[in-house]
Every structure is written in C-alpha cells, then in structure tokens.
Amino acid sequence: MVLFSSRGNKAMYTGDLIPTSSHLKIPYVAGVDLFPVETMRQKERMIQRAVEENWLVLFGHDTEIDAGYLSQGNQGKVVLEPATAVS
C-alpha cells in the first residue's frame, strides 16, 4: 500500500492488500496469498487507522467503487461511504 498526504489530508492506495471494496472484510484475502494470517493483521491495522484518521481509501482493482471513506458501524462493522468525483 501507499499512503499519500497533502494539505492535512491522507489517501491510502490499498494495492493488493485490499484490492476491492469487497476485500474490506478481514478474512477476505487473495487465494494466492502466501501469508494470509499476516495479511489479515495488516488489513485490520490499516483499516482501523483509515477509520480513525479519516483517510480516503483507493481501490485499484474495484470495477464499481474507486474510492471511499471508512467509518465504524454497528457491532464493529466497517462501513464504506463511496467518494464522489469532483469535476
């Protein structure tokens, strides 16, 4: 992943750690992942930081949602609010 910072705002390009918005669920990892337990730990850590610090999360492989902001929903569930493009 890559973390960008500009004028006090941050954006995280998730790369293959979280390739699509569907992969936000911690146990959802790529079938070819050689270290799935470590991937799940890193995902949980990065998602929590994105929620706490209000990062824009960029999904490089998602065909429907390019980016969005995460928040903590009911029962600890992470909620994605898709970002809207500014023209």
pTM: 0.88
3-state secondary structure of 33: coil
Per domain, the residue ranges of the chain are 2-82
Of the pLDDT bands very low, low, confident and very high (cuts 50, 70, 90), residue 83 is very high
50-62 burial, b at 16+ Cβ within 10 Å, e below that, comes to bbeeebbbbbeeb
Which residues on adjacent β-strands are paired with residue 10? 5
pLDDT in tens, 40-54: 999 999 999 999 999
**Is residue 78 scored above 90 in pLDDT?**
yes
CA 44 from centre of chain = 9
86 pLDDT exceeds 70?
no
pLDDT tens-digit readout, 19-40: 999 999 999 998 899 999 999 9
Distance between CA 53 and CA 4 in Å, rounded? Answer: 13
Alpha-carbon distance 62 to 64, whole Å? 6
